[in-house]
Structure 1
Amino acid sequence: MAEKKKAASIWDVARLAGVSHQTVSRVVNGSPRVADPTRAKVMTAIAELGYRPNRLARTLAGGAPQSVTVLTADTSLYGVEASLRGIEKAARAVGWSVSISVLDPADTFTDDDIISRLPRAGEPTIIIAHDEPGMRARQALLDAQPQAMVAVGPYTADELEKSPWLVGMDDGEAAGQATRYLLEMGHHTVHHLAIPTSSDKTQGGKTHRADGWAAALQLAGREQPDMIMSGWTIAEAFEAVQPLIEDRSVTAILCGNDDLALGALRAAHQAGRDVPGDLSIVGFDNAPFTAYTTPAITTVNQDFLGLGRGAFELLRHKLDGSTSRPAPCWPDPELIVRETSGPPPRR
């Protein structure tokens, strides 16, 4: 039986090309810090030898890290799940692996506990920081290893422009857009069923979505009702929204996400309030189910897949400059008008 041919190694490529194995690693990892003639020699050697780089070989060669850890608090939320898919797709395209560590909001953990979630010290990390655990993880990793950390979340355009380690969408402006739409439809004011706040003190105890809603009402000179606080789930929203549903003077509700909108829609149906005839409901995020409810939910579309890809590209840019720095603020959110919104009822 013929002896199986040994696979070419990174050192074989380096010898044939007449370069160091570090240079081969830079070429394999797409680093811009290689002269074009040298890159051509390495690529020719790779083709001639049939070299196929693997994660272990890259690590032994001292190349860029080939794995990333994502810290997040709730993978069941649509925005988080879609962002994770974006990260994973971008990572897989360049041969990286992705591990996920969930920070349960019900658990008590220290900064050391957060850092211990990483497989090894300095592991490249992306934090999906939309809630209290995420914000805590963001600060802990920023203090410990700022060059290997990127945070994804809802930030203002100003925050995104100033920071080298944030990527996100200005959902405060998106909430303002949805609020203005409802006011332009003729509603006297818009009530807000809010997602939980984070511990980020710069937000003054409100989410950016709540800030955008409040700013739009203030600019229009309209009454700003008290926010109704909800948890993240449909069941929590169903319970929390009852006072608004029972108040027949309430004609428009902006919800902090689409799960909350679904809870509000169910509560309105149970109370005998027609949507949108008696009550307009607008969600946030454009989760896939929103197009298939009855009636279909008006919502704010956000490019979470693109956001995940942008986070991974920013991480690689910070680590070794192998990609150009992506724009910090992903494309502007878009209001998707469907069947749960319309003008207020005639009195």
Structure 2
Amino acid sequence: MPGTTVKRVTAADVARSLGLSRATVGFVLNDTPGQTIPESTRERVLAEAKRLGYRANSAAQALASGRSRIVLLVLPDWPLDYSMRTNLDEASLALDEAGYSLVTMTPHPGGHARPLWETLRPDVVVGMAPFTPEQLAEIRSSGVQQIIPPVAAGESGAAGELGFAEGPRLQVDHLLDRGCRRLAFAASADPRIAELVGQRRELARRTLLERNGSAFAAEAAVDESDAAAQLRAWVDDGIDGIVAYNDDIAAIMLGAAVRAGIRVPGQLAIVGHDDTPLARLIVPALTTVRVDNVGLGRYLAELALSAATGSAPPIAGPETDAHLVVRETA
């Protein structure tokens, strides 16, 4: 019937069904160390628990052990693109293999939802981007002991420098090495990722300055509505190479070039970033930067597990490097 509450099967129900003491059943179901329970009894308890539909009370177990076995990943308000999804899928799988659950949350400006670090009591809170001082104070006051990164945005050590941050350098180097001399930076117009776009643009700009002693000949945020006009203006101004924020932006510019009859890479070379499936499927195929999001997801999981268990933190390896994938557009 609607509204009927199903009674939860408890360890006491299993004990009563088997005629065993609650203590014995509790030792088996909780896998309590140091107890000498006959294997035949253990098998009977587990079989009966399964038959009755017994499920452990995770909240009670967390209270008793002081651990929830939950890792909370706090995401910036970014679009959930291919790279992010791959990263999260692999981190979730790696944590599951270790007996932990990955839960994600995205704080929104002006939001009224209670933060999950208060309601879930996670063992570890990980920020995909550094926390604000206010967030860090709130997380600590909720009782969470392990926070990654442990310092707020703008403080020393707030964000590590991993190899994949060199992707924009690879983009610029490749275009210059193939003979391009007037480069433009094509950015995303999505305001949610303005900071990330700015970081990639700055890395690319510094590379261009080191190599040529000059800045970008042009920069613009583009979308489908204005890509054609922007591209025509750039080509008329002598732009012969485009550094795109990501593969989506690169594909928008490539599509505009194809429709305008601009030869790629004959007249204009384009390099994307992220090596999404789109980069391989579009014609001509995109030259882009590949980041091992699978390896990066596992590295993120290992970082969280080291904080949860007190083990040594992982050392960033090849999975955090960026690699140029040369295809047809540059």
The aligned counterpart of 2:174 is 181
The aligned counterpart of 1:39 is none
The aligned counterpart of 2:71 is 68
Within 2, Cα distance between the matches of 1:87 and 1:64?
19
Within 2, Cα distance between the matches of 1:228 and 1:54?
57
- Structure-2-length-normalised TM-score: 0.71
Q: Which of residues 203, 206, 209 in structure 2 aligns to 1:212?
A: 203
For residue 226 of structure 2, give the secondary structure of its aligned residue in structure 1: helix
The aligned counterpart of 1:150 is 148
How far 1:274 moved relative to its partner? 1.5
2:257 maps to 1:264? no
For residue 250 of structure 2, give the secondary structure of its aligned residue in structure 1: helix
Q: How many residues are paired up? A: 287
Q: CA RMSD in A?
A: 3.9
The aligned counterpart of 1:35 is none
The 1:121–1:285 alpha-carbon spacing in structure 2 relative to 1, beyond 3 Å, is same
For residue 324 of structure 2, give the secondary structure of its aligned residue in structure 1: strand
Within 2, Cα distance between the matches of 1:96 and 1:244?
48
The aligned counterpart of 2:3 is none
Within 1, Cα distance between the matches of 2:288 and 2:276?
9
2:90 maps to 1:86? yes
Task: Render the CA deviation track for 1:90-123: whole Å, top value 9, x for unaligned.
Answer: 121112222232345xxx326xx57624352653
Paired residues for 1:1-347 under 5 Å? 6=25, 8-10=28-30, 12-16=32-36, 49=42, 56=58, 58-72=61-75, 73-74=77-78, 76-103=80-107, 108-109=109-110, 113=112, 116-118=115-117, 120=119, 122-123=121-122, 124-129=124-129, 137=131, 139-145=133-139, 147-150=145-148, 163=157, 166=159, 169-195=162-188, 207-225=198-216, 228-230=219-221, 236=223, 239-240=226-227, 242-248=229-235, 249-321=238-310, 323-328=311-316, 330-341=319-330
Within 2, Cα distance between the matches of 1:170 and 1:115?
35
Structure 1 gaps, min length 5: 18-44, 130-134, 342-347
Is the CA contact 1:193–1:254 (under 8 Å) kept in the aligned structure 2?
Answer: yes
The 1:310–1:238 alpha-carbon spacing in structure 2 relative to 1, beyond 3 Å, is farther
Is the CA contact 2:171–2:272 (under 8 Å) kept in the aligned structure 1?
Answer: no
Within 1, Cα distance between the matches of 2:83 and 2:40?
41
Structure 2 gaps, min length 5: 1-16, 47-54
For residue 276 of structure 1, give the secondary structure of its aligned residue in structure 2: coil
Is the CA contact 1:300–1:334 (under 8 Å) kept in the aligned structure 2?
Answer: yes
Is the CA contact 1:78–1:287 (under 8 Å) kept in the aligned structure 2?
Answer: yes
Within 2, Cα distance between the matches of 1:140 and 1:251?
45
- Structure-1-length-normalised TM-score: 0.68
Q: Which amino acid aligns with 1:89?
A: L
Within 1, Cα distance between the matches of 2:40 and 2:217?
66
Q: Which amino acid aligns with 1:324?
A: A
Within 1, Cα distance between the matches of 2:40 and 2:283?
57
Question: Which structure has the greater CA radius of gyration?
Answer: 2
Within 2, Cα distance between the matches of 1:69 and 1:287?
26
Task: Render the CA deviation track for 1:138-165: whole Å, top value 9, x for unaligned.
Answer: 54433333643335xxx9xxx99x63x7
For residue 291 of structure 1, give the secondary structure of its aligned residue in structure 2: helix
For residue 87 of structure 2, give the secondary structure of its aligned residue in structure 1: helix
